[in-house]
Amino acid sequence: MTEKITVPKLRGVENYTSWSADLRIILKHHKRWTWIEGANENAPPTFITDASSTKPNPDYATWEEGADDAMFRIVMTF
């Protein structure tokens, strides 16, 4: 059985240490910690262009999904 993890809302310096530790665990569990560390700081190109066409870059879609998910999980703790 999976337990639900609840992170208390951030209340400034009052609970920053425990909040950041909890958030780190959640982001690592969901494989989103790399967005915090900066490994995914730069998005790949949105489109791929070759000699005959321009098409969406699937790497960009994957990057954007990860960035959106990380942001959602952070914002939900404020």
Domain residue ranges in the chain: 12-75
Q: Give the predicted TM-score (pTM) of the model.
A: 0.79
CA pair distance 16, 9, nearest whole angstrom: 9
**11-48 pLDDT, tens digit each:** 999 999 999 999 999 999 999 999 999 999 999 999 99
On the question of pLDDT at 5 being above 90, the answer is no
| pLDDT confidence of residue 45 | 96
| pLDDT confidence of residue 2 | 59
CA quadruple 70, 25, 41, 62: dihedral sign: negative
Q: Is 66 exposed, middle or buried (0-12, 13-18, 19+ CB in 10 A)?
A: middle
Please give the mean pLDDT across all residues of the chain: 91
CA pair distance 21, 4, nearest whole angstrom: 16
